[in-house]
A and B are shown apart, each in its own frame.
Chain A
Amino acid sequence: MLYKRFGSQVVLNGLSLAIERGEILAVVGRSGTGKSVFLKHLVGLLRPDSGQVLVDGEDMNRARGRRLARIRERFGMLFQGGALFDSLTVGENVAFPLREKTRMAAAEIREVVTEMLHSVGLKDVENKYPDELSGGMRKRVALARALAHHPEIMLFDEPTTGLDPVLVRAIHQLIYDTQAQFGHTAVVVSHEIPQIFEIASRVALLHNGVIVEIATPEAFQRSTNPVVQQLITGQIEGPLQAM
């Protein structure tokens, strides 16, 4: 059960969730319900006021130093804005975790960089800087960087924010394809309803700091929970306050 508050604002209010190995879990909910906060707890960027985040039985919040680093090495994360290092080129960005965390030779790293960029549908961009790329390309580069060290668990923090519908579908396809290719567990925080249903193994709805519904996309869409239905249909009237 995770509890987290910022000042007087309660964000996570006893959230409990088990994520299955190898699934794509989509976490949906209204803006400001704490989806990104939840995701940051998974990788230890935020620590709960109380509760545990267990990764194969290891408590993320009790881990410090090398133990925490060892757990984090199992994660990759695609941030909302990409979080690419703007002083480094695309190639250097993708190579960064490999250069810093492995003993791979420079030539081998170059090979992996090209391969990872290719797997996200990019080529001949190694020498460009992040600010020379479009939003969609930046997301792809960030995905390539996050996948470069083959993480077991991939976290996606609203990976399609600010992209047009075609790019949204392309990024979703990429999330699906890369998961199929590398076999990692994926947790995707998203606003893209209903598109996210096409790639998710399960969908969880975060509302008032707890998971109020978790089901396969088909069952989720059939749910009689009025919160779920309002989120799917996007109606103003309902249990979710519009403003």
Chain B
Amino acid sequence: MLMLLEKLGTAVLALLMYLGRLGLFLGQALLLIFIPPLKVRRLIRQMHFIGARSLLVITLTGLFAGMVLALQGYYTLRRFGSEAFLGPAVAISLITELGPVLSALMVTGRAGSALAAEIGIMRITEQIDALEVMALNPLRYLAVPNLLAGTIVMPLLGALFDVVGIYGGYLIGVQLLGVSSGTYFNGIANAVDLSDVTTGLYKSLTFGLLISLICCFKGYYAGHGAEGVSKATTEAVVFSSVTILVMDYFLNSVLL
């Protein structure tokens, strides 16, 4: 019994220390955003890396997510004679839910893992130590540009996902299954309001910040050797993905 309590206590302490370290990491990085100099070149580079280089995967997943939604939605709505609501169903699902969540998961897999690995390699090859010895704050070079880049590009990628997804829904719903084009697009225009868009926007902003934070943090505190980097990368992807889904629930509770 005592041993069980001891193990439980150790685990809780470890969790608290982990959360404390994560909080300090985020706090310091956020503070550094407002203390110049901002590494603009690195910020642009990271926006390109996280954003521009994710365009293909976001376009592809957005297109097929929209197509599947339209296909599923059409046959479900037809049972109730409500095919006319296909456009709004596809658009609202994408804008408020699937766009932010799926695009965030895709970015986690494509850019987040690479981010964690890159920073992890810098850790084990002492490049981060070298920055410290130069009296430079590594967070300014590694965390700040990534946190900003993730937060800026994620809503843009989410928006692209939505637009491409709606077009994918159009291809299936209108071109394949025969819903009228006017019904599809007018339905979207009438049903989607600003609160749907802002819900999606807030989610994307939050997910962008979280992905960058978790992946940078995991890489920054990577363990020793190749195994340490591989573990950090895996944990970064798993933790980011789980956090996205958990946070999605809480954001829905607040925003909807």
Contact = CB atoms under 8 A, between A and B. Distances in A.
Interface in A80-131: 80-81, 83-86, 96-97, 100-101
B129 A81 contact: no
Most chain-B Cβ atoms within 10 A of its Cβ — which of A70, A73, A75, A85?
Answer: A85
A77 B125 contact: no
Interface in B129-151: 129-130, 132-136
Q: How large is the interface on B (under 10, 10 to 19, 20 to 34, 35 or more residues)?
A: 10 to 19
Nearest to B128: A83
Interface string B97-140: 00000000000000000000000011001110110111110000
A40 B136 CA distance: 16
B132 A83 contact: no
A79 interface: yes
A17 to B, nearest CB: 20
B135 A101 contact: yes
A133 interface: no
A72 B189 CA distance: 60
Interface in A14-70: 40, 43-45, 68-70
Contacts of B133: 43, 45, 72, 75-77
Contacts of B125: 81, 83, 86
B135 A80 contact: no
A96 B134 contact: yes
Contact of B134 (A81, A84, A97): A97
Q: How large is the interface on A (under 10, 10 to 19, 20 to 34, 35 or more residues)?
A: 20 to 34
Nearest to A68: B135
A72 B130 CA distance: 11
B126 A83 contact: yes
Contact of A79 (B126, B135, B136): B126
Nearest to B133: A77
Contacts of B134: 72, 96-97, 100-101
Contact of A45 (B121, B122, B127, B132): B132
Contacts of B126: 79-81, 83
B129 A79 contact: yes
Contacts of B130: 77, 79, 83, 85
A43 B136 CA distance: 13
A158 to B, nearest CB: 12
A215 B122 CA distance: 37
B144 to A, nearest CB: 14
B150 to A, nearest CB: 19
B135 A83 contact: no
B129 A72 contact: no
A84 B128 CA distance: 10
B129 A45 contact: yes
Contacts of B135: 68-70, 72-73, 101
Nearest to B136: A100
Nearest to B37: A100
B56 to A, nearest CB: 23
A156 B127 CA distance: 15
A72 B127 contact: no
A32 B113 CA distance: 33
B127 A83 contact: yes
A100 B132 CA distance: 12
What 3 A-B pairs have minimum CB-CB distances, sorted nearest first?
A: A69-B135, A72-B135, A83-B126
Given A70-B135, A73-B135, A83-B125, 17 more contacts: A40-B129, A45-B132, A68-B135, A72-B132, A72-B134, A72-B135, A76-B133, A77-B133, A80-B126, A83-B127, A83-B130, A85-B122, A85-B127, A85-B130, A97-B136, A100-B134, A100-B136
Interface of B: 121-122, 125-127, 129-130, 132-136
Interface of A: 40, 43-45, 68-70, 72-73, 75-77, 79-81, 83-86, 96-97, 100-101
13 contacts: A43-B132, A43-B133, A45-B133, A70-B135, A72-B133, A72-B134, A76-B133, A79-B129, A81-B126, A83-B129, A86-B121, A86-B125, A101-B136
